[in-house]
Amino acid sequence: MKLSSNQKKFFAELVGTFVVVVLATGSVVINAQYGGKVGLWFEAFAPFVAVSLMVYAVGKVSMAHFNPATTITLLITRHMPKNQLFIYLSAEIIGAFLASLFVKFVIGTDANLGTNAPNYSYTLPVIFGVEVFATALLLSVIMIVIHTKGLYGGSGLAIGGMVGLDILFLSFISGASMNPARSLAPALLSWSLGDLWLYLTAPFMSAGIVGVLYKKLAKN
C-alpha cells in the first residue's frame, strides 16, 4: 500500500515524537530509579541523541517537528500549510502518549513517568520566563536550520544539542520541557497535573514570539 504525502508526514511525526519522548522521559525515570546517581547529564544527553537521530531520520519527510510548539511556529512563519495542522498535532500527541505508555510498562513509573517539574524555590515569574526562554532558544535554532536549509548538514546536532543544553542548564529552574506533548502525556498518565499549565502555555508563547520575529527579520 502506497502512503500519501500526508500519511508519510503523520507516521514520521508519530515515530519521531515517540522516540524523543521515550528517551526524554525514560531518562528521568531511570535517573530516579538510581536515586539521582546517574545524573542530570544523562537526562540531557538522552533527548539530545533522540532528537538528533530523528531529525536526520525523518527530517526530509516531515521537517521533524516532534513538538506542537515547533508546529505552531512553522504555521506562523508559513513553512507549513494550515490544512496540515491537525496531522502534525495529532501525530505528536499520539506519539507522546504511546511513548509514555511504553515508559510505564517497560522502564518504570518513577518520577511520575518523567513528568516535568519546576523548582518553586524560584518565583513563578522567573520559572515561567525561563521556560519561555528555553523554548525560544530551541525554536530559534530550528528556524536558523530551516533558513539555512539544513545548517550545512548540522541540523540534527544543532537542534538536539540545543535541547540537551536547555535541559542541562535550565531544567533546574523550570523543568525545561520546551514541548507541550512531552509534558502532557506523562502528566496525564501519572495524574500529576499541578504544573501542566506551565508547559501548555510557556512553549506556545515562545512559538508566537519566535514566529513573529522570524517573519519580521526574514523580510529585511
Write down the pTM of the prediction: 0.94
Q: What CATH topology corresponds to 5-219?
A: Glycerol uptake facilitator protein (1.20.1080)
pLDDT digit string, tens, across residues 74-107 = 999 999 999 999 999 999 999 999 999 999 999 9
pLDDT digit string, tens, across residues 126-182 = 999 999 999 999 999 999 999 888 777 789 999 999 999 999 999 999 999 999 999
d(CA 51, CA 156): 7
Q: Which residue has the cell 535550565?
A: 170
pLDDT attached to residue 220: 61
Which secondary structure element, helix H or strand E, spans residue 34, and what is its range?
none
Give CA separation, 175 vs 14, 127, 168, 188, 202, in Å: 24, 9, 10, 17, 12
DSSP state of 105: I
For a pLDDT cut of 70, what percent of the chain falls above it?
A: 99
pLDDT attached to residue 199: 98
